[in-house]
Structure formats: C-alpha cells, structure tokens
C-alpha cells in the first residue's frame, strides 16, 4: 500500500500536546494489590534505551494505511520514528528530544520544529496516548496514572484478573488486565470523566536479550480509531546520542 497519506497523517497527529498524568513514583506498597502493581511496573526497569524495526498500521473512520517503521527510544520519553519506503529509505522522520518535536518529510519544505510538552495523538485520531506513554509500551512496560487506591478484581478461570486504580471522587481511572499467572500485562485501559480514553493491548511477548517485549501493540479508543505496531526486530540498551532525538536540515 502506498504510504504517502500515512506520512502526512503522522506529521499532523504528532504536533499536538497531551497533558501528562503519569505518576512518577508508586511509593511503598502496603497491600497485596499494590505489591502486584509494583512488581509488574518494575519489569524491564533496567531497560533504558531500545531500537526496533517493524510495521505500523493506523486507522480511523476514513480508512487505514500501513508502512514499515524504524524507531529509537529512551525511557525518559525521548523517541525517534522513521517511516520507510519500499527501498528502505526514510519517507518521513519524527523525533522528540523532551522539549522540541521535529518533523521532516520528503514531500515537505524542510525540517519543522515545535516546542511541545509530551506531545500526543489525541487531537486528530482521537486516541490520546502521549509519546511518553508510547515509549513505555515499546519498552515492554505500561504507564501508571496518579491514583489513590489499588484493587485486585479476581474474575474467575474463564476471564483475566484486573488491577483497578481508583482516584477519590473520580472512580476507576485505569484498568490493568493480567495474564493468568499474573506475571505480565495483557491490556491497559485508561479512563477520564467521559469514559474510556484509550486501551492498549499487548501480546506475543518474546525475550529480547534479558527483557520481555510484546511483539504486537494495539492502541485504540475502543471505537473507530487506533494504531497497531508489530515488532519484527528489537535491540535493547543500545547506545544513543542526544543528536539522534533531533533532526537537522538536510
């Protein structure tokens, strides 16, 4: 499939900001549910950087497009993505260095640079996941939103158990569905005052070096918009340089 439309689409969706609501510290766990959340959250914590190659598919009410993709990430929230053409040459480059978002397209007029705090995707494709949250998922982890209480909901042998994160006066703000043995996360659902904000499904886990990384990441708003990343090759804890998270004029 031609990916010119996908290149332009990604260029637009990535310049908007998403308000960061991730809790920076879980604190000392005191209940079984909190200890389980902390244990899951600590998985892959020694993974600091990574790069990968795979495919991305994006869809909304207007249709869907797909392309090959390469990426480089750093757990502090920095990310570089390149959409690749049939020859392997980049058709589009996108980078975020923690303060500025850079974009370059072969069809554009040079490098665009925007000051942004944790930019996200919500304003265009209605999937308000931020770059920082996407870095979590690509690193085999998951974001934990600021909360007041954690509850373990045990659903029986035919369904997956869930961790429910609650905030006073707001109710459930995050649901984390677990594998049967409670060693990994199957999905993360984020809620706001309107209901479901987005859901991320993580599957096809594989060992990549010392780390367990999902081979398939599907993030959607539960309705007609979302994107899917399939990971073909993955390298953990690679050397990165600051300049790799910016784009210079050609």
pLDDT tens, the chain, 250 aa long:
445 455 545 554 444 434 336 766 777 888 999 999 999 999 999 999 999 999 999 998 888 889 999 999 999 899 999 989 888 888 888 899 999 989 888 776 788 888 988 888 776 567 888 899 999 999 999 999 988 899 999 876 667 899 999 988 788 999 999 998 999 999 999 998 888 989 999 999 999 999 999 999 999 988 788 999 999 999 999 999 999 999 987 5
Q: Which residues of 166-176 are buried (b: 16+ CB within 10 A; e: fewer)?
A: eeeeeebbbbb
Residue 83 contacts residue 67 (beta carbons within 8 Å): yes
Q: d(Cα 38, Cα 84) in Å, to the nearest integer?
A: 37
Q: Where are the domains of the chain?
A: 4-245
Strand locations in the chain, DSSP E? 16-17, 49-60, 63-74, 78-84, 90-96, 100-105, 112-115, 119-120, 149-153, 162-167, 171-178, 185-192, 195-208, 211-220, 226-236
Residue 66 contacts residue 59 (beta carbons within 8 Å): no
4-245 to CATH, choices 3.40.50.880, 2.40.160.10, 2.50.20.10, 3.30.1490.100: 2.50.20.10
């Amino acid at each position: 499939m031609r990916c010119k439309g996908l290149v332009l689409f990604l260029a637009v969706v990535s310049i908007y900001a998403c308000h960061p609501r991730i809790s920076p510290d879980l604190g000392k766990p005191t209940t079984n549910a909190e200890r389980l959340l902390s244990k899951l959250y600590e998985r892959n914590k020694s993974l600091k950087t990574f790069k990968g190659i795979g495919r991305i598919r994006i869809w909304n009410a207007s249709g869907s497009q797909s392309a090959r993709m390469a990426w480089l990430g750093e757990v502090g929230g920095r990310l570089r993505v390149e959409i690749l053409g049939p020859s392997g040459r980049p058709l589009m480059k996108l980078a975020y260095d923690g303060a500025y978002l850079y974009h370059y397209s072969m069809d554009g007029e040079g490098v665009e640079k925007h000051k942004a705090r944790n930019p996200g995707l919500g304003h265009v494709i209605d999937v308000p996941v931020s770059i920082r949250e996407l870095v979590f998922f690509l690193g085999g982890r998951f974001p934990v939103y600021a909360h007041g209480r954690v509850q373990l909901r045990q659903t029986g042998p035919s369904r997956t158990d869930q961790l429910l994160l609650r905030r006073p006066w707001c109710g459930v703000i995050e649901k984390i569905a677990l594998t049967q043995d409670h060693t990994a996360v199957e999905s993360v659902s984020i809620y706001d005052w309107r209901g479901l904000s987005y859901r991320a499904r993580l599957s096809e886990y594989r060992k990549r070096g010392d780390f367990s990384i999902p081979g398939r990441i599907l993030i959607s708003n539960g309705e007609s918009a979302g994107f899917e990343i399939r990971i073909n090759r993955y390298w953990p804890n690679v050397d990165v340089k600051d300049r790799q998270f910016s784009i210079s004029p050609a």
